[in-house]
């Protein structure tokens, strides 16, 4: 156990030492060799490293580690704080996907903290009562059950060392005492239309009838009281041992007065969740899936997530000499975009909640299947079609998967969502790659009574086609966009990386990984490099619109490349120069053990190490 943590608001000595100078002129070499002027320095250490979406959350994790806690302790403490500092993107109402490396067992493990659909939610209900539509990013009908508290419980009970009270101390302090609100959060509150529709949300986010201004102190005493209830339950059960005490705290959220209050609020305000849905819920510990890419084992969560699509794309790209093509050349971008289209077509056909469907992972992730699919990529022409394959034929004994995909070309579904991320490596080389989310900015938009938090709106990801892999069913988890990554090299952890971004998450992570492995960049240069993306596949958001041929590049990619991509049939949108990423990552040098942490200057990401 570690002692009660010190206040989190003073920058630690480790942080002061490792903010360091920017890269020198002598180091300003070819960016493809991993150097060049970066907007921020690589943060290096030998004991531990943290990178997250907000500076104070990173500081909290660093202080837990400095006080003797491990990566799992630090992850819980940091996310509880991150949920307030990055309140539009995650919080106590979040779902989450997490990958960990447990140094003791030498295993990579998946935690699936996606919510389950309410018992009352059926395709027929939405057809009869909601016009055959799921409200996108708004109302309690888009809500999904929060899995974050159960994720905290699993991290602390199975792998952690501190109490929940210790982990939540900084979060409770921030909720009660407040924090200076950032420009980003203040702007997002001010721009939100849905928050203004709900009295409980107005009370929290517009306490004086206006949005808070940057630098003003923002408080959430209701959330503080809710978190204190969890600590109270833990304290009351302390005599039964640490494990029982942690479970008591967890059960108060899912089976006690908090769950009853949520169920009551839902029933009174048109939502479909009831107390019984919370009481039946559990997050899941699962075996991840992986592929080997040029000697690196890349791991993803397996169930109810789009994560494996990144692995499918890597298998396709392994057949090309990407370095010879040149970073962000027309050939490189075209090949990457076309590989993503094929991978996401398979996402649509195969990926979903494994409690309800079978996924032919052995075939889907086989090199033989990738070889067949790679032949579909025309090097001179962009595809406008959704072309899933027949992966099950590469998995003997797997029954045929008969799903006919009918992409929706109407509507205006958004491919980019709002999520948060943090990654941590400790002195024992335990690793946590953690993606918590409300899905859209402020989730369902409705603050739940006087509990101080909003439920995520992942419920708008379901399909209302009963034959779809992601079809809505009571108790089923939606196929999430959340996709943290953990990379191993020769049996040892090599990298943790993740980003917000909805459907774009695998593309952001994949490009960062390729920048390191194929182009030899340091982790900060890999994060900052210009990016591309595509929306030429069905969006996860209802109504799941597909935009054939559409893609985007940051304007730092040369105009000549854009012109060549358009010549090959891509419909290219040129976005701002620093607009298409928000990645955090930590790389572990396999020879020296040095930790190198990177943080994206496109957002408020921040890294510390010692």
Residues assigned a catalytic role: 419
Contacts of 417 (CB under 8 A, 6+ apart): 437, 439, 440, 481, 500, 501, 502, 503, 540, 541
Task: Name 109's bridge partners.
Answer: 100
Q: How many CB atoms lie within 10 A of CB 224?
A: 20
Q: What is the DSSP string of 369-382?
A: HHHHHHTT--TT--
- CA 73 to the chain's CA centroid: 19
Residue labelled with tokens 């989730």:
443
Residue labelled with tokens 């109402």:
93
Q: How many CB atoms lie within 10 A of CB 185?
A: 23
Q: What tokens appear for 336 in the block?
A: 């990457």
Residue 64: which H helix or E strand, with range?
helix 55-66
What are 267-272's contacts with CB under 8 Å, separation 24+?
269/140, 269/446, 270/139, 270/140, 270/141, 271/118, 271/140, 271/141, 271/143, 272/118, 272/120, 272/121, 272/125, 272/140, 272/141
559 CB burial (10 A radius; 0-12, 13-18, 19+): exposed
132 CB burial (10 A radius; 0-12, 13-18, 19+): exposed
């Amino acid at each position: 156990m570690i002692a009660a943590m010190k206040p989190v608001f003073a920058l630690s000595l480790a942080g002061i030492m490792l903010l360091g100078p920017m890269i020198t002129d002598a180091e300003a070499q070819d960016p493809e060799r991993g150097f060049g002027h970066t907007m921020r320095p690589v943060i290096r250490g030998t004991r531990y490293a943290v990178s997250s979406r907000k500076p104070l959350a990173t500081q909290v994790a660093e202080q837990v580690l400095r006080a003797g806690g491990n990566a799992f302790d630090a992850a819980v403490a940091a996310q509880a704080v991150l949920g307030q500092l990055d309140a539009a993107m995650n919080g106590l109402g979040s779902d989450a996907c997490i990958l960990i490396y447990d140094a003791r067992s030498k295993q990579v493990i998946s935690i699936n903290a996606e919510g389950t659909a309410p018992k009352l939610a059926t395709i027929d209900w939405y057809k009869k009562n909601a016009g055959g539509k799921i409200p996108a990013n708004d109302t309690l009908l888009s809500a999904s059950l929060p899995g974050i508290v159960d994720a905290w419980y699993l991290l602390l009970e199975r792998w952690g060392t501190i109490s929940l009270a210790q982990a939540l101390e900084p979060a409770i302090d921030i909720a009660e005492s407040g924090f200076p609100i950032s420009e980003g959060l203040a702007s997002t509150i001010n721009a939100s239309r849905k928050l203004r529709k709900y009295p409980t949300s107005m009370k929290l986010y517009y306490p004086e009838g206006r949005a808070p201004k940057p630098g003003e102190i923002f408080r959430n005493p209701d959330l503080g009281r809710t978190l204190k209830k969890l600590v109270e339950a833990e304290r009351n059960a302390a005599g039964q041992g640490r494990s029982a005490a942690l479970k008591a705290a967890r059960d108060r959220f899912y089976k006690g007065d908090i769950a009853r209050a949520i169920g009551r609020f839902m029933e009174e305000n048109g939502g479909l969740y009831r107390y019984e849905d919370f009481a039946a819920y559990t997050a899941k510990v699962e075996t991840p899936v992986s592929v080997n890419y040029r000697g690196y084992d890349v791991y993803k969560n397996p169930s109810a997530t789009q994560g494996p699509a990144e692995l499918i794309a890597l298998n396709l790209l392994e057949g090309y000499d990407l370095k010879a093509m040149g970073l962000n050349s027309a050939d490189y971008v075209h090949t990457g975009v076309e590989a993503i289209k094929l991978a996401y077509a398979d996402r649509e056909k195969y990926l979903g909640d494994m409690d309800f469907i079978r996924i032919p992972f052995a075939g889907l992730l086989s090199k033989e299947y990738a070889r067949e699919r790679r032949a579909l990529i025309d090097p001179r022409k962009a595809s406008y079609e959704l072309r899933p394959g027949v992966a099950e034929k590469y998995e003997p004994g797997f029954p045929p998967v008969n799903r006919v995909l009918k992409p929706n070309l109407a509507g205006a579904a958004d491919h980019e969502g709002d999520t948060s991320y943090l990654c941590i490596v400790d002195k024992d080389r335990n690793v946590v790659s953690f993606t918590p989310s409300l899905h859209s900015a402020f989730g369902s938009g409705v603050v739940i009574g006087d509990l101080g938090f909003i439920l995520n709106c992942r419920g708008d990801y379901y399909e209302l086609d009963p034959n779809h892999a992601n079809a809505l069913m009571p108790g089923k988890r939606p196929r999430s966009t959340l996709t943290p990554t953990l990379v191993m090299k020769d049996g040892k952890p090599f990298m943790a990386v993740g980003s917000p971004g909805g459907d774009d998450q695998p593309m952001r992570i994949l490009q960062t990984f390729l920048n390191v492995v194929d182009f030899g960049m340091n982790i900060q240069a890999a994060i900052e490099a210009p990016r591309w993306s595509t929306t030429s596949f069905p969006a996860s958001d209802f109504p799941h619109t597909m935009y054939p041929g559409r893609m985007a590049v940051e304007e730092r990619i040369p105009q000549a490349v854009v012109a060549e991509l358009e010549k090959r049939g891509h419909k290219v949108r040129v976005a701002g120069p620093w607009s298409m990423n928000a990645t955090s990552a930590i790389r572990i040098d396999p020879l020296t053990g040095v930790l190198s942490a990177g943080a994206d200057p496109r957002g408020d990401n921040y890294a510390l190490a010692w």
